[in-house]
Structure 1
Amino acid sequence: MRDVIIIGAGGGGPVVAKELAARGLDVLLLEAGPRHANPRTEWTHFENDANNPLTGFFRLGPSDRSKPAWFREWPQNSFVWQVSGVGGTTQHYYGNSPRAYPGVFNDYTGADREQYDIAHRFPFGYAEMVPYFEWVEATLPVQTAAMGTKEQTWFRGCETLGIPVQTTKTTTGPSYRPQENAILQPGGNAGRTSDRDLLQYPKATGCTFCGYCFQGCMQPIAAPRNQFAKRSTDNSYVPMALTAEVWSAGGRPVELITDAYVTRVHTEQRQGGLAATGVTWRDNASGEEHREDARVVVMSGGCTENPRLWFNSGLPNPNDWVGRGYTDHHFDWLIGSFDGDTGNSKGPGSSARLEMPGYGGLENVGLPPALEAFAMTLSDSGIRGQYDNDNGSAGPWDGPAGRVIGPELKELLSGGIDTLLNALVITDDDVEPDNRVTLSAFPADEHGPVPKVSFRQRQRSARTLRNREFMARKAAELLRGAGAKKVYRINWAPLILHVQSSMRMGESAADSVLDANAESRAVRRLFIADNSALANSLGGPNPTLTTQAVATRTAEKIFQRYFGGDPWVRAESPVVSTDPRISVRLGELGL
C-alpha cells in the first residue's frame, strides 16, 4: 500500500508530490498523458506543431499522437486549451505568478469588501496564505519579469491613468507593475544577442527572449532540465520530486507513471464515514488495468477531469456542487495599432500588468504570428460591424467590437505584428452555479462517460459583466495613452484558460465540495490540489501561484492529519529547483 496516490501531474499535483516525498512518504504520481523528457527532440517552436488541439504535442490525448485526442463536449461557442501530460497547462502558460487579491479571503475587512464575491470566499485568511505564497515564490522561483520594448510601451500607457507603480507582492489598490513571473532572469548573453552560438548554456542562462513561451520552454540550449527558463512544473517541481533523496535528508523519490489514465477512485465505509482507499488506472498503450491502494488519494486532474472522475467513480454529491461553479475570468482582448516598433513578439510572453482590485486586471501579452491571428479572430460578435448588438459595440475603441477582416485587417497588419500591443482583460468573476461539468450523453470512450461543460457566456452576474466593461475601457485608455493610433476590441468568446472552482473549497457545506483543508466533505482521505479547489476567481489574478500555494498548504495538512507530521512551511527554508546538485542527478538520470 502506498502512502499517497496523486492523480495528475499538471500545475498542482507535482507540488503535493514534491512536498510529501521530501518528508519521506511513499508517493505515486499518475499522469494520463505523456512526459516530454527530451523537449529539444520532441518539440519545435512552430505554433501549429505545439497548439493544434487534435495533433499538437500540447493537446488532450495520449502519448501516441497517431491516436485521436480525447473528446470533451462543449455545447457553447468557446475554446478550451486543455493539455494532458507532465506539466499540464503550465507547459504553455506564461509563468505569470501574481498573488490572489486579499479581498477574496475571509479575513478581509477593507472598505471595498463588498466589491468582491463575498458569498464565495476562501475559508481562511490572507495572512495565513502569505507563508505559502512565499514558499512557492522561493521554490520555483518567482522573480520580477525581465523588461523589453513592449513593456516600456505598456508602462507609458499606464503612466497616463493616474495610478501608482506597485512595489509589493501583495496588491492593495489600483496600480501597475512588472509581472511577478516564474521565469528565470536572463544572465550572461541571454537577452543581449540573437546569435545561437552565444545563447547556449552556460554562456547564457535564464530567459533568452525567444518569444515562444506558449510552445513550452526549452531554453537556453544545452541547459539541464531544471535550468530551463520557464518554471512550468515539468521543469521545476517534477525534477525535484523525482530526485527527492538528493536534496532532502530522509526524502525519497516519487514514482511517476505516465500514460496512466485513472478511471476510478475506490472507497470503503470506515469508522467516521466513507474513505478513499485507492484507484484503478488504465495503461493507454496496452489497455491493461491496474489497482493501487493508498492511505490518501489526491485528485489533481483539473476543473473538467476531476468532476468526471468523481461521477464515474460513483462518489457522493450530497449538495450537488461537484462540477458546479466552473469559473473563469471572462476574458476580452483589445489591440492597439502603433506607428513604431512595440516588440510585441519578442521576449517573455507577458511581463507587465495593471491591477484594479474589485474589478480585475489587465495584462500585456506578446504573441508570435499564428497566436496573434487566433487572438484577433476569437470573437463573440462575429465580423466587426456585421451585427448591431450590445457586445462591446460602443466604447473608447474604434468602431464596433468583433474580428477584423478585409482592408482594415491589411491596414492593421501593414507594419507587421511588432507594431501591435495587446491588452488582455481579466475580470474578477462571480462563482456561477450554473456553469458546470456533468456527464455527456455522447458515447463513452475507453475511460468511461465523457464530460460535458455547460458554460454561460452572456448570462453572467451583473457584477461580472460590469467588471468586464470597466476593464475593457481601462484597456482602451491605456493603449491610447501609450500612443496607439487605433484601438480594436475583439469581444472574445469564452477562452477557457484561467478556470477554477469546479470542486471548490468554501466556508459553507451548502455550496462547496471541500473543507478548509481541501479535503472532501463527503469522502475522508480524498483531497483536491489544483485550480478546481480554489474558492473563487481570486479577484482576477492568474490562478497558478495561488493553486500551488494552496497545494503546499494541502500537503502540509495531509502530513499533519494522516501521517503524524509537524508543519514545515514556517520552520524551514524551501529548497529551490535550481540547486546544482539536482542538475548532476538529472544528468545521471538522462533528464
Structure 2
Amino acid sequence: MPDVIVIGAGGGGPVVAKELAQRGLDVLLLEGGSRNANIEAKWTRLEDDANNPLWGYLRFGADDREMPWWQRDHPQNSQVFHVAGVGGTTAHYFGNSPRTPPGVFAGYAGPDAGAYDTAHRFPFTYEEFRPYLEWVEDTLPILTAPMGTKEEIFFRGCERIGLPVLRQRDTTHDSYRPQENAILQPEGTAGRTTDPALLTYPQAQGCTMCGGCLQGCNLPRQAPRNLKAKRSTDNSYVPMALTADRWAPGGRAVTLVSDAFVTKIHTRTTLLGAPQAVGVTWRDTRTGAVTRVDAKVVVMAGSVVENPRLWLNSGLPNPNGWVGRGLTDHALDWVTGIFDEDTDQDKGQDSACRADFPGRGAIENVGLGPATQVLSMLLSDSGVRGAYGNGRGVTGPWDGKTGRPLGLELKDTMRDNNKLLNMLILTDDDVEAKNRVLRSPLPPDRNGPMPKARMYKRVRSARTLRNREWLAAKAVEIMRAAGARKVIRIDMAPLMLHTQSSMRMGHRASDSVLNADGEARAVRNLFIADNSALPNSVGGVNPTLTTQALATRTAEKIFTRHFGGDPWVNVEAPLSSADDRVTQAVVAAGIT
C-alpha cells in the first residue's frame, strides 16, 4: 500500500511524485499512456508523424497507433491538443516558462489591480507563491532562450512601437523580452552545426536549435534521459522521481505504472460523515486487466479534461456544481506576417521571445515547420478569407478580413516558410461557469463515459473579448513595425492548448472545487495538482511553470498535513534535474 497515489504523469503529477519521494514517501505514479522509453528510436522530426491527432506518436491515445485514439466530444469547432504518455502534453510544449503576473493573486493592490479577473484570484498572495516559482526554476532548470533571426525581427517590431525591455522575471508592466524557457542552453557543437554526426552527446550538449520542439525532444543523441534538451517532465521530474532513492538521502524511488488508465476513485465515509479518498481502480489499456490499490492520499493530475471525467464517473460529490466548470483557454488567436527577408522561423527554439501586457495577456513568437504552419492557419472561426465570413470575418488593421487562407492565397503565403513570422495571442480570459467539461451523451469508450468539452468562444465576457481584440491589433502593429509586407489574422477557433481551471481552487466554497491547499472541499485526502487546479487564466501567460510551482506547494501541504513532515521551500536548496548526481543515478538505473 503506497503512501500516495498520483494519477497522471504529465505537467503536474511527476512534480508531486518527485517532491514526496525525495522526502521518503512511497509514491505510486499511474499514467494512462505509454512509458515513452527509447525515444531516440521511436520519435522523429516529422511533423505529421508526431502531431497527427488521430495516429501521431504524440496523440491522446494508446502507444499502439493501430488502435483508435481516445475520443473526446467537441460540440464546437475546436481541438483539444493533449498528449497521452509519460510527460503528457509537456512532450510537445515549447518549454515557455514565464512567471504569473502578481495581479492574479490575493492582496494585489497595484495600479492595474482592477484589470484582471478580480472575482477569481489565487487564494494567497504572490509573495507567498514566489519561492515555489523559484524552486521550479532552479529544479528544471529554466534559462533565457538563445536568440536567432526570428527573435531579432520580433524585437525590432517591439522597439519600433516603443515597448521597453523587461529585465527581470516578475511581470509588472507592458514590455518585451526573451522567453525564459525550460530548455538547456546549447553547449559544445550544439547550435553550431546541423550535421547529425556532430550532434552526439557529450560533444553536443543542450539545445541543438533543431526547430522541432513540437515533435518532442530526443536530442542530443546518446545523452542521458535527464540531459535531453527540453525539460518536459519525461526528461526532468520523472527521471528524478524514479531515482530519488539514489540521489536523495532517505528518498524512495517512485513506482511508475504506464498504460494504466484510472477509471474510479474510491472513498469511504468518515466518522464525521464526509467522504474520504482511499484508493483507485485502473484498467490496463493493453490487456484490459483491472487493478485496485489503496493509499492514504490520492492526487489527481490527469488533465483539465480527464479530471472532471474521472470525478463524475467515480460518483464523487459535486455540491456546488463547479466540477468541470470555469474552463479557461486564453482565447487564443493567430497572426501571421509575410516578409521579404528571411525569418528562419523553423530554426532554433520554437518560441523564444514574448511581449507581455499585464491585465490583457501576452503575445509570443512561434516558429513552425511547413506542415504545422498550414495547420495553424486553418483552424478559424471566421470562414475563408475572401470567400465567406461565417458571421464574423471582421476587418481591422490586418490585410483583408479575418479567416483562413485557402487556394492561391495559401499557396502564396507558403511560397517560402522561412519568410513568415507568427504571433500567438494569449488572452487573459475570465473564468466563466458556462465553459465546462461534462460527461458526453455519446457511447462510452473502453474507459467509461467520455468527456465533453464545451467552450463558448463567441459568447465570452466583455473583458475577454476586449482583451483579445486589443492584443490582435497590437500583434499586427508589432508585425508591421518589424517590416511585414502582409499580415493575416486567423481568428482562431478554440485550440485547447492552454487549458486551465476546470477544477479550480478559490476563496469561496460556492464557486471552487479546491481549497487554498489544493485539497478537494467535498472529498478529504483528495488533491488536484495540474492545470485544472489553477483558479484563473494566470494573466494570460503560459501556464506550466505556475502549475508546477502550485504542484510543489501542494506536495508540501500533503507532506506537512498528512505525514507530519516539515516545510522545505525556503529551507532547503532545490537540486537541478540536470545535476551530476541525478545524471549518475539515471545512467545507473538505465532510464532511457
* Pairwise same-fold verdict (TM > 0.5): yes
Q: How does 1:28-39 map to 2 (within 5 A)?
A: 28-39=28-39
1:292 aligns with 2:276: no
Q: Deviations over 1:28-64 (max 9, x none)?
A: 0000000111101111111111111111111111222
State, as a whole percentage, how many aligned pairs show the same letter. Answer: 62
Q: How does 1:59-458 map to 2 (within 5 A)?
A: 59-272=59-272, 273-388=274-389, 391=392, 393-414=394-415, 416-458=416-458
Q: Report if aligned partners of 1:12, 1:551 keep a CA contact under 8 Å in 2.
A: yes
Mean CA deviation greater in 192-201 or 227-236? 192-201
Shift of 1:320: 0.1
TM-score w.r.t. length of structure 2: 0.98
Distance 2:175 2:160 in 1: 12
The DSSP-based 3-state class of the residue aligned with 2:281 is strand
Q: Report if aligned partners of 2:389, 2:403 keep a CA contact under 8 Å in 1.
A: no
Distance 1:312 1:161 in 2: 52
Q: Deviations over 1:132-175 (max 9, x none)?
A: 00000000000111111100010000001212100111001000
Q: Report if aligned partners of 1:392, 1:489 keep a CA contact under 8 Å in 2.
A: no
Q: Report if aligned partners of 2:383, 2:389 keep a CA contact under 8 Å in 1.
A: no
Distance 1:474 1:215 in 2: 30
Q: Deviations over 1:56-94 (max 9, x none)?
A: 111111222221111110110001111111000000000
Q: Report if aligned partners of 1:337, 1:412 keep a CA contact under 8 Å in 2.
A: yes
**Count of matched residue pairs:** 590
The DSSP-based 3-state class of the residue aligned with 1:539 is helix
Q: Report if aligned partners of 1:33, 1:85 keep a CA contact under 8 Å in 2.
A: yes
Mean CA deviation greater in 288-297 or 576-585? 576-585
The DSSP-based 3-state class of the residue aligned with 2:432 is coil
Q: Deviations over 1:208-230 (max 9, x none)?
A: 01000000001111111100000
The DSSP-based 3-state class of the residue aligned with 1:29 is strand
Distance 1:308 1:388 in 2: 35
Distance 2:388 2:470 in 1: 22
Shift of 1:525: 0.2
Structure 2 counterpart of 1:174, which letter?
D
The DSSP-based 3-state class of the residue aligned with 2:362 is strand
Structure 2 counterpart of 1:542, which letter?
N
Provide the alpha-carbon RMSD of the alignment. 1.0
TM-score w.r.t. length of structure 1: 0.99
The DSSP-based 3-state class of the residue aligned with 2:294 is strand
Q: Deviations over 1:268-324 (max 9, x none)?
A: 111342110000111111111111000000000011100000011100000000000
Distance 1:390 1:479 in 2: 26
Shift of 1:113: 1.0
Shift of 1:202: 1.0
Distance 2:194 2:437 in 1: 46
Shift of 1:382: 1.2
Structure 2 counterpart of 1:516, which letter?
A
The DSSP-based 3-state class of the residue aligned with 1:171 is coil
Distance 2:578 2:304 in 1: 30
Distance 2:406 2:292 in 1: 54
1:514 aligns with 2:514: yes
Structure 1 residues 522, 57: CA separation in 2 closer, same or farther (over 3 Å shift)? same
Q: Report if aligned partners of 2:381, 2:390 keep a CA contact under 8 Å in 1.
A: no
Distance 1:432 1:22 in 2: 38
Distance 2:209 2:371 in 1: 18
Structure 1 counterpart of 2:494, which letter?
P
Q: Report if aligned partners of 2:247, 2:585 keep a CA contact under 8 Å in 1.
A: no
Q: Report if aligned partners of 1:211, 1:345 keep a CA contact under 8 Å in 2.
A: yes
Structure 2 counterpart of 1:94, which letter?
F
Q: Deviations over 1:545-569 (max 9, x none)?
A: 0000000000000000000000001
Q: Report if aligned partners of 1:247, 1:575 keep a CA contact under 8 Å in 2.
A: no
Q: Report if aligned partners of 1:12, 1:530 keep a CA contact under 8 Å in 2.
A: yes
Distance 1:442 1:379 in 2: 26
Distance 1:217 1:82 in 2: 16
Shift of 1:376: 1.4
Counterpart for residue 58 of structure 2: 58
Shift of 1:457: 1.3
Q: Deviations over 1:243-264 (max 9, x none)?
A: 0012210000000000001111
Distance 1:190 1:161 in 2: 34
Structure 2 counterpart of 1:443, which letter?
P
Q: Deviations over 1:464-515 (max 9, x none)?
A: 0000000000000000011101111111111110000000000100000000
Distance 1:301 1:188 in 2: 38
Counterpart for residue 525 of structure 1: 525
Distance 2:578 2:367 in 1: 27
Counterpart for residue 500 of structure 1: 500
Structure 2 counterpart of 1:193, which letter?
T
Distance 1:455 1:472 in 2: 20
Q: Report if aligned partners of 1:504, 1:514 keep a CA contact under 8 Å in 2.
A: yes
Q: Which runs of 5+ in 2 are unaligned?
A: none
Q: Report if aligned partners of 1:334, 1:422 keep a CA contact under 8 Å in 2.
A: yes
Mean CA deviation greater in 508-517 or 185-194? 185-194
Q: Report if aligned partners of 1:120, 1:506 keep a CA contact under 8 Å in 2.
A: yes
Mean CA deviation greater in 397-406 or 353-362? 397-406
